[in-house]
Structure 1
Amino acid sequence: MTTFDQLNKDVNNNELESSKFLTFADVPSGLLEAIMSYLSYKDSIRASAVCKAWRKAAVAVRVAEKYPWVVSFPKRGDSVYLFDPLERKMYTLNLPEIAGTNVCCSKDGWLLMRRSSFVDLFFFNPYTRELISLPKCELSFQAIAFSSAPTSGTCVVVALRPVRRDAIAISIWNLGACEWVAKEFTCSLGFDPYMHSNLLYANDHFYCFDLGGVLLSFDPASSTVNCESWDEHRCPYLHNDEWLGLPKRIYLVEQRGELFLMYTCGNERPMVYKLVSSKWEEISSAAALNGLTIFASLYSSETRVDVPVMRNRVYFPRYGLHNNQCVSYSFDQGRFYPRKPLLKPINLWGMQPELCPLQSIWIEPPSKTFLDGLM
């Protein structure tokens, strides 16, 4: 045997001998942290139980998913209120740029605002105070949403207005365009022009769900509309006179591309459904939610997974009713917090406070640096 062959044999034997004593704890810390950074919050907790080395790596990179805050716009003045629903802290922002405007949508820390003229729209970031104007939108709309931050380079804004039960008008604005493109589409299945969900962007499409069980899908890339109907899935709160005088709302949200539908009716339990293989399956227990939290609002809703203390809940942007806490519904406990979030109307047509005030919406939380500047 040559010297070279003997050297290879010795090296291989040493490697085999050493490998007998290797454990998970021997994986380099840098590699462990890189692996742990891809885990969800729940899986990161589970991985922490393997050994001390894994626990150290998991804790080093573990970041609980940030939950959104409420931003509210008073009817008068130029002060805006920013509310942390978990810490129950409120901050006041002086933003004269948006005095006298209405909020339309929120995404990625940006707000889509509308002036009282209805045709003047602009993006606004309340943390950087950056303002980006849009061309005048001559078509009135009932729902509007945008795909991504206006600084992303791929932003698309879509405004929807049902013309009649068998037709809808859609206006599209692409980033950098000088004008909106308006088109009318036929909806053979019909679409309720008076009661429908928020407009939701997910899976490169814009979605909207109506009271009669029709899901409208718009593809901005091909400028095509598709409708699907679930006759058995009309709003369940329509068929009982007990709920006749109570405000009913429809919310459409997504989590990692999966669609969730929610109905609310006054103080009644929120009814949540998940679209699975072209069928809406009701989520009636906390176990079925699997750590999901829904942050509902009339114009744009958010979801998060495995946020500590907030798991298996629906949060609404109404706060200040009891110790400055947001109204929420816990599927674990099967009740609202506070226990009686809304007063019942005195008579059939009495007015009841909304769980989602018109001028309140969820927004990405500010950075610590921004908050330090408010102190």
Structure 2
Amino acid sequence: MKTRRETYTAETPTSLFPESLLTVKQFVQAPCSIGNRGSKMKCITRLWGLNIPSELLQEILSRLGLKENIRASIVCKTWCEAAVSVRKLQPRPWLLYPQEGSEDKGDYILYDPSSSQTYKFNFPELENDEFDYTSTRDGWLFMLKHDPWELLLLNPFTGERIHLPKLPEKTSGNCLDFSAAPTSSSCLVISLNYTDYGLINIWRPGETVWTTHRFKNHLENQPVGFWYTCVFSNGLFYFHSTWGFLGVMDPSKLTWNNLLVKLYPYPGAFDSELFMAEHEGEIFLGFTRDIKNPSVVIFKLNLNRNGWEETRDLDGLTIFTSHRFSLTRAGLPLEMRNKIYTSQSPRPPSMLVFPYRGVWVDPLHNVNL
């Protein structure tokens, strides 16, 4: 499969992009060694740990993701103990859904699958179905309301709301995402609209207007479909279209890259459900083959080859998908690994009934409701 990469620079001056938000995650204790004979995960007794001060070793290991932390733990006993002491896991996604049978359509239930606890809230903004959830991060939901048209950041855990300024006329985004909680200095909200030229609007908390950037469209003679989903990874926004194109926006350099990578047959040709997910820099793409065959095909992005490679498993990850976005988790119970839970699934984890308007929410750390 031949690919081609083209880079276009915005017509506006370059602005600096703040560093990504560092979040404190829960510490999870795990056994240092595995007792089964022949296990590949046994700790190896060596002198690796004697040459590195313990505090420095813990500092180094604390900066690793979960997969790298586990790999480092098999170097030797000292490394294993240090890796386990700083091992971090993200909390499992929560579920937000309308309260069934309530007279007030703004009544919603927030469900914690880890403890099977439910919490009732009222959100007047959600009284009708004229809205879409576009993404979630650090306890916040990014929403697009259609009647009246409005962009809203909502924190269902704290009740905080941030109403964003109106986008410039005729630039309503097909694809919307944000990089961090709006309470963070690294928060950046992005709206993409792609017609005869690429149009990206950027907003940061505290600003009263959007900043518009235009990019030359070199895909004008090719069927792109529309930009359907987006993920934020390592400071970049990755957009995927319904016809298989991948666009990458670098907000620090204000550049737009078209990676002309397509899947055959195109996902859009089958009107299939499409999702993207991200985990520690790895980008996944999933879609159903067609309406009659609901099985999900998963691809992983190979940046060295600028192409998608089909994968048979998720490397132990669990993906929680909603209509326009997905969340990934590592280290969940064995029975939940290498599985995909959708927001329309009739039997999600630890729950029998899953309402149509349910949505996964990336929870706050150390939630106390």
| TM-score, structure 1 normalization | 0.67
Residue identity in the other structure for 2:107: S
**Structure (1 or 2) with the larger CA radius of gyration:** 1
Check the 8 A contact 1:187/1:227 in 2, yes or no.
no
- 1:28, distance to aligned residue in structure 2 (A): 8.4
Q: Tell me what 1:255 maps to.
A: 279
Partner of 2:260: 229
1:95 alignment partner, one of 81, 105, 122: 122
Q: Show the counterpart of 1:143.
A: 175
Q: Which residue of 1 aligns with 2:5?
A: none
- Correspondence for 1:284 among 301, 304, 311: 311
Equivalent position to 1:303, from 308, 311, 328:
328
SS in 1 for 2:307: strand
More helix by share: 1
Letter in 2 for 1:100: E
Q: Please, which of 178, 185, 201 is the counterpart of residue 232 of structure 2?
A: 201
Question: Are 1:77 and 2:105 an aligned pair?
Answer: yes
Matching residue of 2:358: 360
Q: Distance in 1 between matches of 2:147 and 2:298?
A: 36
How far has the Cα of 1:152 moved from its partner?
0.8
> For 1:327-366, what aligned pairs fall within 5 Å after superposition?
359-366=357-364
User: Which of residues 122, 132, 138 is equivalent to 2:152?
Assistant: 122
- Return the TM-score normalized by structure 2: 0.68
Q: Residue deviations 1:110-134, cap 9 Å, x none? A: 1123344354222221112222221
Structure 2, unpaired ranges of 5+: 1-46
Q: Secondary structure at the match of 1:295?
A: strand
Distance change >3 Å, CA 367–CA 302, structure 1 → 2: closer
Bigger mean CA deviation after superposition, 34-43 or 209-218: 34-43
Q: Deviations over 1:308-361 (max 9, x none)?
A: 33322222122444886489xxxxxxxxxxxxxxxxxxxxxxxxxxx995x433
> Number of aligned pairs?
309
RMSD: 3.8
In structure 2, what is the equivalent of residue 3 of structure 1?
none
Mark the CA change 1:283 to 1:44 in structure 2 (over 3 Å): closer, same or farther: same
AA partner of residue 292 (structure 1):
L
Contact 1:253-1:301 at 8 Å conserved across structures: yes
SS in 2 for 1:98: helix
Asked if structure 1 preserves the Cα contact closer than 8 Å seen for 2:279 and 2:328, the reply is yes
Q: Is the 8 A contact 2:73 2:80 kept in 1?
A: yes
Letter matched to residue 174 of structure 1: R
Are the counterparts in 1 of residues 142 and 154 from structure 2 also a CA contact under 8 Å? yes
Relative contact order, CA 8 A, sep 6+: which one is greater?
2
Change (3 A) 1:238 1:107: closer
CA displacement at 1:145 relative to structure 2: 0.6
> In structure 1, what residue type is equivalent to 2:245?
V
